[in-house]
Amino acid sequence: MYIIESYSLAVVFCIITMFCWGSWANTQKLAGSSWRFELFYWDYVIGIVILSLVFGYTLGSSGEAGRGFTEDLFQASSRSYSLAFIGGVIFNLANILIVAAIAYAGMSVAFPVGIGLALVLGVIVNYVSNQQGDPVMLFSGVALVVVAIVLDAMAYRKLASTNQKNPKVGLVLALVGGFLMSFFYFFVAQSMSLDFSTPEGGKFTPYGAVFVFSIGILLSNFMFNTFLMKKPIEGPALKAPNYFAGKLPVHLFGIMGGIIWCVGMSFSIIAAEKAGPAISYGLGQGATMVAAFWGVFIWKEFKKAPKGTGNLIAGMFLLFVIGLGLIVYSGV
């Protein structure tokens, strides 16, 4: 299996994760406003499962170090399976709420608020379980991210006042999703051995963990997303024929979104051995800044915002950049 050999390369992998996690939601935008997020999400989940299998039988099955993908799946204990699977279930519920927040409030709100909160809580949870990195620099970076989240929430309240949308709906969806999102990585990390070269028996390598995690997402989607289709946050109820009525390009956008996200997840987990789970997760969740960039500058989500909103957005970007820099250097 492929293994990272240095901290610097682990940081590069985490930066790739950041761009993947911050960019996949563009595929939801590209699918079109007429294609509801509940329908998009089925294809997104399929994309995650596909990529986890592809990486398992390529990167996870190449080289002599560690343990091969198939062997890894057969030797893992029921506890490891449960932890990775539960991580997938938690992630799925959290991410559906984040996707709903994107549909309602836009990328430049859902990510900084929801994923920003997930970054803060997730770094704390993962640091407690595996204390790698300088705590002063790590948590100073986290504190700056908290302030950035507040600035973004203030900017969104200004924007919502101009388009007649209730700002509480978008913010609540993002905050609840972000709170749940902060815990999924902990469960996946606990299912793995953090010595990838000579992995502990009964625990997964990164490739096995990500695959079982993806199965947790897929199976729980039949409960969570089916419920949302019947009881949508906004709009009429949906049924299975609505999904199958979609054209091929629309389905491909969703699958591509899942693939992009899962590349990020896989790279983050692969980097966790050298960087530590807290830094690997925290830097990957710098996706908030990337997604906000897409939302503000490409999709023009704040184009009609009142005067003064731009200063809040600029402050958010600045604090996110400085905060993420401190998180990176905490592990040097």
Euclidean distance between CA atoms 156 and 110, whole angstroms: 10
Residue 182's closest CA among 251, 262, 277, 264?
277
- Report the DSSP beta bridge partners of residue 204: 192
Euclidean distance between CA atoms 231 and 89, whole angstroms: 20
The pLDDT of residue 133: 80
Name the amino acid, one letter, at 124.
Answer: I
Summarize pLDDT for 225-268 with one digit per residue, the tens: 999 999 998 889 999 999 999 999 999 999 999 999 999 999 99
Euclidean distance between CA atoms 211 and 91, whole angstroms: 14
Euclidean distance between CA atoms 119 and 206, whole angstroms: 21
Instruction: Please state the domain count of the chain.
Output: 1
- pLDDT at residue 167 is higher than 70: no
pTM recorded for the entire structure: 0.86
User: What percentage of residues in the chain have a pLDDT greater than 70?
Assistant: 97
The DSSP letter of residue 10 is: H
Collapse the DSSP code of 253 into the 3-class scheme (helix H, G, I; strand E, B; otherwise coil) and give the result.
helix
Q: CA separation (Å) from 21 to 64, 67, 126, 141, 332?
A: 30, 27, 18, 19, 23
Instruction: State the residue range of the domain holding 89.
Output: 7-329
Summarize pLDDT for 88-106 with one digit per residue, the tens: 999 999 999 988 888 887 8
User: What percentage of residues in the chain have a pLDDT greater than 90?
Assistant: 54
Name the amino acid, one letter, at 114.
Answer: G
Tracing tokens 């939302």 back to the chain, one arrives at: 295
Collapse the DSSP code of 113 into the 3-class scheme (helix H, G, I; strand E, B; otherwise coil) and give the result.
helix
The pLDDT of residue 234: 81
The pLDDT of residue 302: 81
Helix axes 248-275, 167-190, angle to 10 degrees: 50
The pLDDT of residue 298: 83
Within-domain flag for 143: yes
Within-domain flag for 255: yes
Check: CB of residue 14 under 8 Å from CB of residue 275.
yes
Within-domain flag for 21: yes
Euclidean distance between CA atoms 324 and 143, whole angstroms: 10
Within-domain flag for 285: yes
Residue 205 CB coordination number (10 Å): 30
Collapse the DSSP code of 77 into the 3-class scheme (helix H, G, I; strand E, B; otherwise coil) and give the result.
coil
Check: CB of residue 103 under 8 Å from CB of residue 28.
yes
Euclidean distance between CA atoms 145 and 323, whole angstroms: 6
Sequence-ordered list of residues with C-beta below 8 angstroms from that of 223, at least 6 positions apart, any chain: none
Within-domain flag for 2: no
Within-domain flag for 320: yes
Within-domain flag for 24: yes
Within-domain flag for 1: no
The pLDDT of residue 116: 80
The pLDDT of residue 163: 63
